């Protein structure tokens, strides 16, 4: 009888361990899935996102073009960078696409709806570069594009997610992430201009 109880205990323990290892494997399996994902999402151009009006935009339309992805907000100390982003767009729009992604992750500084954000951007800064629907750029609900931008297992080298509003990711003509710029780096910064002109 003791032997039977002992065997049953081992079986129960083994199934508990296998259950918990399955639970642990959920994140462990995420890595192979990410690697698998890399085979299908090798570049920025493999993503589809929604613009600020809710229309699907296939980022493959930017193939062969340099891109600057910026997480933007309407009530931030860096909000005046909208003016510089628009200036960059006006002066270099034929060489680089600027894509604005509103996000409310930092200090609740983007509380508005997509419609309100669009009105604010066009009314206050005359924004003509593409704006996209409000997304999350960090945390558990991080948008898949921002997951790619901030996970080196997906983009090849960078683990840096946005630290505040107006962080910038530079993608080259081949859809590869090449640079990350903190919020304080102005869109018209010499380093960004050099990348555009190179």
**pLDDT tens per residue, range 50-61:** 999 999 999 999
Strands (E), the chain: 48-50, 56-58, 66-72, 96-102, 168-171, 177-181
User: For the chain, what percent of residues have pLDDT higher than 70?
Assistant: 79
For residue 46, the 8-state DSSP code is: G
Rounded Cα–Cα distance for residues 86 and 137 (Å): 22
> Encoding tokens for residue 118?
């669009």
Asked if 65 and 173 count as a contact pair (C-beta separation under 8 A), the reply is yes
Q: What is the pTM of this model?
A: 0.80
**Residue 16: is its pLDDT beyond 50?**
no
Q: Is 76 a catalytic residue?
A: yes
Domains of the chain plus CATH, in order, are 44-197 (3.40.30.10)
Distances (CA, A) of 6 to 17, 19, 20, 117: 16, 20, 21, 65
Catalytic residue among 16, 76, 121, 167: 76
């Amino acid at each position: 009888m003791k032997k039977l109880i002992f065997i049953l205990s081992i079986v129960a323990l083994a199934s508990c361990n296998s259950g918990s290892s399955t639970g642990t494997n959920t994140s462990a399996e995420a890595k192979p899935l990410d690697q698998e994902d890399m085979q299908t999402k090798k570049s920025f151009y493999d993503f589809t996102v929604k613009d600020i009006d809710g229309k699907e935009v296939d980022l493959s339309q930017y193939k062969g073009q340099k891109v600057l992805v910026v997480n933007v907000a309407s009530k931030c100390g860096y909000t005046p960078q909208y003016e510089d982003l628009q200036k960059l767009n006006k002066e270099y729009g034929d060489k680089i696409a600027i894509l604005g992604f509103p996000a409310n992750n930092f200090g609740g500084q983007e509380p508005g709806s997509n419609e309100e954000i669009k009105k604010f951007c066009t009314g206050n800064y005359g924004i003509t570069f593409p704006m996209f629907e409000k997304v999350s750029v960090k945390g558990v609900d991080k948008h898949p594009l921002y997951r790619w931008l901030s996970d080196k297992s997906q983009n090849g080298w960078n683990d840096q997610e946005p630290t505040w509003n107006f962080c910038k990711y530079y993608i080259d003509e081949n859809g590869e992430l090449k640079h990350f710029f903190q919020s304080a780096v102005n869109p018209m910064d010499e380093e960004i201009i050099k990348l555009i002109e190179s």
